[in-house]
Every structure is written in structure tokens, then in C-alpha cells.
Structure 1
Amino acid sequence: MRLYLLALNPTDSVTEGFLPAAARLGLDVTVLTDRPEAHRLVYPGTEILECDVRDFRAVISRISTHHRADAVFTNSDHLQTQAALAAAYFGLPGKDWRATLRTKDKAEMRRHLAASDVDVVRSVEITEPVAPDVPYPCVLKPREGVASEDVVLVDGPEDLVIRAKEILDRRPGTVLVVEEYLPGELHTLETLGDGRIRHVLGGFHTELSPPPYFIEERLTFVPAHPESVQAQVLAQLDALGVGFGACHTEFVVHAGRARIIEVNYRAIGDQCDLLLARLLDVPLFEHILRTHLGEPLPADLDVRRDGAARLEYPCADRAGTLTEAPAATELTVEGVHLTYRPLRQPGERHPLYRTNRDYLGVLRATGTDQPTVDRVTADFLAAQRWEIRP
């Protein structure tokens, strides 16, 4: 059976998750990408074909002139609609392209939730640095952005115009969304469905950098959100038509009310998916791929329920050259399994992005007792050193 995997840049999710899972399932994999050389450097043994993967017509053409497809899949935020359309064209299981479009386009998501009488958030699209009539503070962000890039909290009309001009100067032609700020603690809900049943895998409590930016600095695993909160989030996902494959949903809770911030219709990234697979002790990546092969999910995933986990992302706080940093490490301390992976190497020079591109590394910690996980994590990080020089 042949799996076509659509990708932009190489990611840990694909390299360490989906490709090994495909091999365990005995699948022949063809990677379609607009950056073939980058992928060949990471996994030279995999068939990689160049393709304009942002164009669904190019994807369909490339597949139809190659081997017959049994599944078309992507874990990229940017390529969900293209993969969904290609899968539908070849009569293969996949996500509804309308749902992938609604979740990718943040303005359309707001419109659809409002039209469905599920949630109403004041939201306006702009293409030039103007200050529309919105309540302040508000959030400014790209309509189809990812990773909190160019997402900023603004306090008033003058600040909004300045911030919008900065973004549009860097990214000409970008459509921006201005929406009311939703207060509350930030959480995630991780789900996996096959179009028939949907499993809730748990979620995370996310701690962010100080405003006005929204960099995710720390995530703590939440085995189960309160039933009423979960029901509210699932109702909003139902309204959007989300229910096939993996989905990573970010939402805030304020005064008992759960409101979606954004829906990433794919598995959670930044190595959280790798942590989930270990923590829950399930073949997570295989389950996701099986849904795209048309196989039903089991009624019970038999996930491990006694896990505790935390992820930490040491961040650059200034532009410059990384001159000192810890190497990759894997060890167990007091029953807590720690995996540290650097995301930058000494000698690399970067500006300050104020997004997750400022991450210097990622620490995954899993155990069975949250206080112990938290303490061991803090001790490990305190013993490390990162130095950035101008």
C-alpha cells in the first residue's frame, strides 16, 4: 500500500513519528514536497518527489502520473485542504476540505461558528494598516498564520495601526484578522477520530510569554478537562465539521466558558505528539495513518491513564549568535524520563522572532507524579546553560 505524504519543511512529527509508523505498517511512502533537498538530507532512503504542494491541482497531477495511491496525508497546517481535496479526488478516506478550510482560515472559522450559533467573537479582516471599530484590547494576527507568528495583543487604535504596518511591511499581501481578546487560561484538547467515533486523548495547560506576544513556553499534561469544558469544545468542533484524523485545538476557559482560539486540524507539534505517544503508551502515529487508510479506530484505545508530563521550551531572549548550549540528552531521574533535544546549534545566528522560532531546545518529561515531574524538570533546566552573544 502506498502513502503519499505532503510536506513543506521537514518536521520532528514526520521524521520521528509518521515515517517510522508508516514503516511499521509496511507502507510504501512517497513524500511530495516543494523542498526536496531538505527532505533528502533527513531521510535519504525515502522516495521524495518535487511538487508544488500548495496547489491541489499539482498534487493530483503528480500522484496520477506516479503509483496508485492508497492514502494521501499531511501533518502540515498549510496543506490540509490540498491533501483533503486530493484524497477526495482519488476516492480515498480523508478530511472534509470544507472543514480544513474553515479551521485554517481564522476569519472563516469565526464566521462559521457565529452562523452556527455556537460562539460569536468580534472579528474583522484588514489588508492595510487601519484601526477598525473593535473592542480593545484586541488581538492582531495573520488570517492563515501558525505558531503565534505575528500574533500580538494591541491596546488601542494607534498601537493597532503601528503593529499592522510592521507586519504588512514584512509580509506584503497578507490578510490580517483583528479580533476581540478572549480572556482566560489557555488549554488544548487533543482528539483522534475516524469519522465514526472520536477519542479524546487529553490535553495540555499552556503557559505563555508575557504580553503582548503569545509564545508557548511551557505545557503541562491534563489527562481530562472538566466534562462541561470538554463538551463545549467538542460542540464547537462539531459545528466546524472536525472529526477525522488528529486535531489539536487551543481554547481558553473563563468563568466556566470554553472558547476556541484556533483549531489546528492535525496532530499537536513541537514534539508534544512524540511525548503523547510515550505518555499514553499507544501507537498514536499508526492510529492516525490507519484512519487515512480507511481503517476504523478501536472503540477503546486502551491509553495509559496514570501519566504526568511537562514540556519546556528554553527561548532566546535576544538576537545574536548562540555560543553555548547543552547537547541532546536522554536520562531518567527519580522515575521521570527526560528527553532534551536542541533546536539550534552553537554558532547559529538568528534575529529575535518573538515566535516559537526563538526556541533553543525542547525538554520532554514524563512520569507518574506531576510534582516530581515538575521538580525534576526545573532542576534539569537550572543546571543547563545557554549563552547568546550579540
Structure 2
Amino acid sequence: MPASLYLVAGKATDSVTHGFLPAAARLGLDVIVLTDRPAAHTDLPAPVVAVVGCDVSDFRDVVHRIADRAAGAGAAAEPAGIFSNSDFLQAPAALAAAYFGLPGKDWRAAARAKNKALARRHLAHLDPVFAADARAVPADAPYPLVLKPREGVASEDVFLVRDARELRARVAEIGARRADPLVAEEYLPGALHTLETLGDGHEVRVLGSFRTDVSPPPHFVEERLEWAPPPPETPQVLEQLAALGAGFGACHTEFAVHEGRARIIEVNYRLIGDHCDFLLADLLGVPLHEQILRAHLGSRLPPAVPRPRGHAVAEPVIADRAGRLTAAPGPVELDDGGVRLAYRPQRTVGDEVALTRTNRDYLGTVRAIGPGPDDVRAALARFRAAHEWTIA
């Protein structure tokens, strides 16, 4: 009898549809999707056996829906695991897992990671960073500051502001279109990195790191992620993650290194996104999505520590104007000499594109793995020259 995995989801994502659902099928699981957007999760492949409407932001409704289904369908629907890959739903999923006595993340760590103000307060003893409510920034604040939604994602409404006048203008601009609380944080200079980790409740394993290129200020659009050895300052990041309590399952952490000091920018307590999860799995040669699900089912990580098989780059194709996408390639996989290339679109021909100066402007992402940096960069340049993306 297949075990049941309850997947807590908001919008449909490629990481779930093309990553976690096939992984669940290989593990022989039945998947029940709990979502507040049932219409976005139609025609899902096996192993999805049901899509259940749920207020996924409220752990009480998540618990109720799981208990109700288990009572109605018997032992086959008893939860073997509860999992989410959504930034916004880590705490509700963690609380539901705790209710049923299942492996999962500490809900407090999930709440701290999502709420940037809580994270800064919790880490102040290790790494004091100026942070304040954006509407109550003191006159002596250390400008420039980074203005951002307290629980935002994808660089949306993130701006560098250089003085109090610019701060007030940006707060008013953002406040006119969203009511989310805003924070203003000290700008952290230095080289930008990510740290990708995976934990099973007994150990936290570093999978690797990417160097990140972002657009010029005042915006912070990620323009390129290139594989690189974790910097020497990585133990400082691991210490801060341990202080937050973020160690179970997948975690994607963004940080800056400057003059020997590593400072966390934000913690995304889920798997790296924008198709970099597929790149990471291919580079390491491991069933990464399966390993994450196994952790949520109570399994230990495999004894072998994965090692990268070459060099890798993820390079998004970014819209440079608003309009209708009239030409773009579909999914592509090909070999260019010793470099394996894959392109997965995030927009399709006919889509209307609104220029946001955020990661929402991605039209698709090109992934490349090859023997070395020069080979990979050259193959990426050839791929982009051979394909057309047109916004009219």
C-alpha cells in the first residue's frame, strides 16, 4: 500500500511539477496536494491522487484537511510526510508535521527565516545589522539602506535608497500597490554568494555554493549564478543558520563576504529556485528532490557526500521591456561539445510581460554544465546567439 505525502502548495511551480512530483513517483508515494489555488493544480501527473482546497496559510486548516482525509480514506491516507517548497508555507507545513509527529522543520526557525525583522533580531548577537521598520527609520541610520518587504521574495520591491528623502519616496511608491510591512536594512557590501544545504535532523550537509551577479542599483535582479567553491567564510554562515535553527531539509541562503566577514542577506528555507535546483541535481549527479523528500519521511542522508562533476552556470534570459512575448524557444536540451545545455522557459509565446525590475522578469533560464568555466561561458554565448526572444 503506497504511503501518502501531503504537499502544501500555493502557485504551481516547475520545482514541484518537474522535480518533486516525479521524485515522489519514484519513491512509490501517493501525493495529496493541499492548496488555496486548486485551479492552478489541474492535470497533475501521477502520483497525485487528489487536490484538496485548503487555507494553506493557516496551519489549523492544514491539520484539519489532513485529519479529515485520513479519517475518510482510512490507513492509506494517513500522512507519512508533510512537505512544502513554498517560501510562504514553511511554517504552516512545519506546524502540521509537528502535530502529526512527523519529521519536519522547526516552525520557529521557519518563521524566523521568512520574517526578515525576526531574523535580524535573532542573529544580532552573532552579526549585528542595522534594521528598522521602514516607516520609523531614525535620522542617524547608516545610509545607504536596502528597502524590502519584510516577507518578500524574488527581489520584488527591493531598492537601494541613499537618503531619507529617497526612502520616503520609495515607501510611498510601494505602499500604493501593496500593504505588506517594509523593512530598511543596512547595505551589506562584498561578493555575493549562495549556500545550498540539506539536513536530515542529524546532520547538515553543504551541497555547494554559487557566486551571484546582480543588476546595478537601485534594483537587485539576479543576472547570473556561477558555481564556485564555498568561500572560506562559510563556517560563519553555518553558525548563523544554526542559531536560527534552520537545518532540516533544503535551505538556500544568500550572503555577502567582505573583508573576511560573511553576513547573511536572507534565508530561503527551501530548495534553490529559478531552475537552479535542476542544475544542482545534474551537477552533483544525485536525485536531489528524492533526497529532500526522504528526509521529510524520516530517512537519513546517504553516506556518500556528492561532489560536483564539472563547472555550472545558470543564466536567466531577462525581459528588457514590457509587451507581448512574440518569439521564444520552448524547452531545449542539447550538447555543445563537452557542455550540456538545458533551457526551460518561464514565459511562453503570447504571454504579456510587465517589466518589474525583479526576478519576475525572467523569460527562461539557460543551464550549462561543462568541464570548465571557459567552455561553459562560450557554450552559453553560442546558445543565446542562436535563439531569439522578442517582446513586441
Task: Assess same fold via TM > 0.5.
Answer: yes
Aligned to 1:369: 372
1:179 and 2:185 aligned = yes
Given residue 129 of structure 2, which amino acid in structure 1 is its aligned partner? V
Counterpart residue number, 2:319: 316
- Distance of 1:383 and 1:244 partners within structure 2: 42
Residue type of the partner of 1:113?
Answer: L
Question: Does the Cα contact within 8 Å between 2:31 and 2:47 map onto a contact in 1?
Answer: no
Correspondence for 1:78: 88
Q: Which residue of 1 aligns with 2:131?
A: 123
Letter in 1 for 2:266: E
Query: Aligned partner of 2:263: which letter?
Result: R
CA distance in 2, matches of 1:111, 1:74: 26
Is 1:131–1:160's contact at 8 Å kept on the other side of the alignment? no
Q: 2:209 aligns with which of 203, 212, 215?
A: 203
Q: Aligned with 2:69: secondary structure?
A: coil
Q: How many angstroms apart in 2 are the aligned matches of 1:300 and 1:241?
A: 25
Aligned to 2:10: 8
SS of equivalent to 1:32: strand
Runs of at least 5 residues in structure 2 that lack an aligned partner in the other structure: 71-77
Counterpart-to-counterpart distance in 2, 1:347 and 1:8: 24
Distance in 1 of aligned mates of 2:174 and 2:318: 22
2:123 corresponding residue in structure 1? 113
The separation in 2 between residues aligned to 1:65 and 1:42, in whole angstroms, is 22
Q: Structure 2 CA distance, aligned partners of 1:44 and 1:245?
A: 23
Q: Deviations over 1:78-111 (max 9, x none)?
A: 0000000000011111000110011000000000
Determine whether 1:279 maps to 2:286. Answer: no
Per the TM alignment, residue 137 of structure 1 is displaced from its structure 2 partner at its CA by: 0.7
Assess, with a 3 A threshold, how the Cα gap between structure 1 residues 29 and 45 changes in structure 2: closer, same or farther: closer
| Amino acid of the structure 2 residue aligned with 1:122 | F
Task: Give secondary structure in 2 for the equivalent of 1:170.
Answer: coil
Specify the alignment match of 2:234 in structure 1.
230
Which amino acid in the other structure matches residue 335 of structure 1? G
- In 1, the alpha carbon distance for the partners of 2:46 and 2:105 equals 29
Q: CA deviation at 1:298?
A: 2.4
Give the equivalent residue in structure 1 for 2:254. 250
- 2:74 maps to none
Question: Which residue, out of 336, 339, 349, partners 2:339?
Answer: 336
For residues 345-384 of structure 1, the aligned pairs below 5 Å read 345-384=348-387
C-alpha distance in 1 between matches for 2:341 and 2:68: 45
Letter of the aligned partner of 1:118 in structure 2? L
Q: Does 1:97 align with 2:107?
A: yes
Task: Name the CA distance, whole Å, in 1 between partners of 2:204 and 2:234.
Answer: 13
Select the residue among 191, 196, 201 that pairs with 2:197. Answer: 191
In structure 1, the partner of 2:296 is: 292
2:225 is the alignment partner of 1:219: yes
- 1:42 Cα offset (Å): 4.4
With the length of structure 1 as denominator, give the TM-score of the two structures.
Answer: 0.95
- 1:343 CA displacement: 1.6
Distance 1:371 1:244 in 2: 36
> Counterpart of 1:253 in 2: which secondary structure?
strand
The Cα of 1:364 is off from its aligned counterpart by: 0.7
Partner SS state of residue 366, structure 1: strand
**Structure 1 regions of 5+ residues with no counterpart?**
none
Identical-pair percentage: 59
CA distance, structure 1, for counterparts of residue 298 and residue 20 of structure 2:
17
1:304: how far off?
A: 3.3
Q: Deviations over 1:292-337 (max 9, x none)?
A: 1111112333x23332100111111111111222232110001111
1:28 is aligned to 2:16: no
Deviation, 1:287, is: 0.8
Residue matched to 2:41: 39
TM-score (norm 2): 0.95
CA contact (8 A) 1:193 1:297 kept: yes
The SS at the match of 1:360 is strand
Deviation at 1:44, TM superposition (A): 7.4
Deviations 1:133-157 (A, max 9, x none): 3211100000000111111111111
Tell me, in whole angstroms, the C-alpha distance in 2 between the residues paired with 1:337 and 1:361: 17
Query: Can you list the C-alpha shifts for 1:329-359, whole angstroms capped at 9, x where unaligned?
Result: 1100011111112221222222211111111
